[in-house]
């Protein structure tokens, strides 16, 4: 695991040549043993970010470690985007197996409630904007921490954090920072062209729209049923 140890300690024998499955078990067992021994001196919190990008071998190591945690002082926290995880994906398969373990817990993270937006802005900027602007920011971002941070920095750069919108919604006045445009653009580019056209029409209607009105606006010229397009958008968590 740590070849540098060989330059410090004398007499350490090299790992024996093993079949691939045996070698993987030896590696996994070494990692688990190393962490468990380290946790005897002090509890360990191991945070694994963006698990939706992990390869199958890394996820197998996570599963192996999870089975070794009983009686240890180790807490493993893994984060992932559920909109990028399907039951057929490597992470989806690992989550199904992990869910059978008594120690496994899943916590879905939602947007911050409106009463916490002021604290978030204060932490980010050292300044608390007027209540009407905080209400508008929450409505604009739905409490999504990434969107909140981008909008707050955008408004701070424009010197607008001390202004109060004419009404408490203020959507059209806050603007959309480039960082948010980039993220949404990356998600939209994965959808079909016809789904993008339907979503563009829906966005003109507003944050909420009725299917019948969208159907009237689009009158799908692309030969695709609008219900199928909505299913595509819902699966991608765009609506």
Span 183-209, pLDDT tens digits? 888 889 989 999 999 999 999 998 889
The pLDDT-based confidence of 163 (bands split at 50, 70, 90) is: low
Last residue of a domain, one of 50, 69, 98: 98
Same domain for 138 and 164, yes or no, is yes
CB atoms within 10 A of CB 127: 11
pLDDT(73) > 90: yes
Same domain for 31 and 86, yes or no, is yes
pLDDT(76) > 50: yes
Q: In this structure, what are the phi and psi dihedrals at residue 198, rounded to the nearest 5 degrees?
A: -65, -40
pLDDT(179) > 70: yes
The pLDDT-based confidence of 1 (bands split at 50, 70, 90) is: low
Check: CB of residue 166 under 8 Å from CB of residue 199. Answer: no
153's enclosing H/E stretch is helix 145-157
Check: CB of residue 169 under 8 Å from CB of residue 139. Answer: yes
Mean per-residue pLDDT over the chain, rounded: 86
The pLDDT-based confidence of 29 (bands split at 50, 70, 90) is: very high
Mean of pLDDT values over 166-171? 48
Q: Helix, strand, or coil here: 208?
A: coil
Mean of pLDDT values over 55-69? 94
Domain membership flag for residue 166: yes
Domain membership flag for residue 109: no
pLDDT(77) > 50: yes
Domain membership flag for residue 30: yes
Same domain for 27 and 89, yes or no, is yes
Number of compact structural domains in the chain: 3
Same domain for 77 and 122, yes or no, is no
Tokens of 120: 């978030």
Same domain for 85 and 25, yes or no, is yes
Domain membership flag for residue 35: yes
Domain membership flag for residue 214: yes
Domain membership flag for residue 119: yes
Q: Tokens 């408004």 correspond to what residue?
A: 155
Task: From 198, 120, 130, select the one nearest 170 (Cα to Cα).
Answer: 130
Q: Which of 7-11, 78-82, 181-185, 187-191 has the lowest mean pLDDT?
A: 7-11
User: Per the confidence metrics, is the pTM higher than 0.85?
Assistant: no
Same domain for 122 and 55, yes or no, is no
**Per-residue confidence (pLDDT) for residue 71, from 0 to 100:** 85
Domain membership flag for residue 106: no
- Rounded distance between C-alpha atoms, residue 31 and residue 65, angstroms: 8
* Residue-number span of the structural domain to which 131 is assigned: 114-176
Domain membership flag for residue 43: yes
Digit-coded pLDDT (tens) for 95-148: 999 999 988 999 988 889 988 988 998 888 888 888 888 888 888 888 988 889
Same domain for 94 and 65, yes or no, is yes
Burial class (CB in 10 A: 0-12, 13-18, 19+), 42: exposed
The pLDDT-based confidence of 17 (bands split at 50, 70, 90) is: confident
DSSP result, 41-67? HS-EEEEE--GGG--HHHHHHHHHHHH
């Amino acid at each position: 695991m740590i070849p540098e140890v060989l330059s410090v300690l004398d007499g350490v024998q090299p790992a024996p040549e093993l079949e691939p499955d045996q070698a993987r078990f030896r590696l996994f067992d070494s990692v688990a043993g190393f962490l468990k021994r380290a946790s005897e001196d002090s509890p360990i919190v191991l945070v694994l970010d963006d698990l939706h990008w992990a390869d199958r071998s890394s996820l197998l190591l996570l599963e192996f470690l999870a089975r070794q945690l009983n009686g240890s002082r180790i807490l493993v926290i893994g984060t992932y985007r559920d909109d990028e995880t399907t039951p057929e994906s490597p992470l989806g398969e690992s989550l199904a197996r992990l869910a059978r373990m008594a120690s496994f817990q899943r916590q879905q993270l939602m947007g911050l409630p409106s009463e916490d937006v002021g604290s978030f802005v204060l932490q980010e900027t050292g300044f608390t904007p007027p209540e009407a602007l905080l209400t508008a920011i929450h409505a604009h971002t739905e409490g999504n921490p990434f969107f909140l941070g981008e909008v707050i920095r955008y408004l701070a750069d424009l010197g607008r954090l001390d202004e109060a919108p004419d009404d408490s919604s203020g959507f059209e006045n806050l603007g959309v920072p480039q960082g948010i445009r980039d993220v949404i653009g990356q998600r939209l580019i994965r959808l079909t062209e016809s789904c993008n056209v339907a979503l563009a029409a829906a966005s003109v209607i507003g944050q909420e729209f009725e299917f019948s009105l969208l159907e009237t606006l689009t009158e799908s010229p692309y030969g695709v049923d609008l219900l199928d397009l909505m299913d595509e958008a819902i699966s991608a968590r765009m609506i």
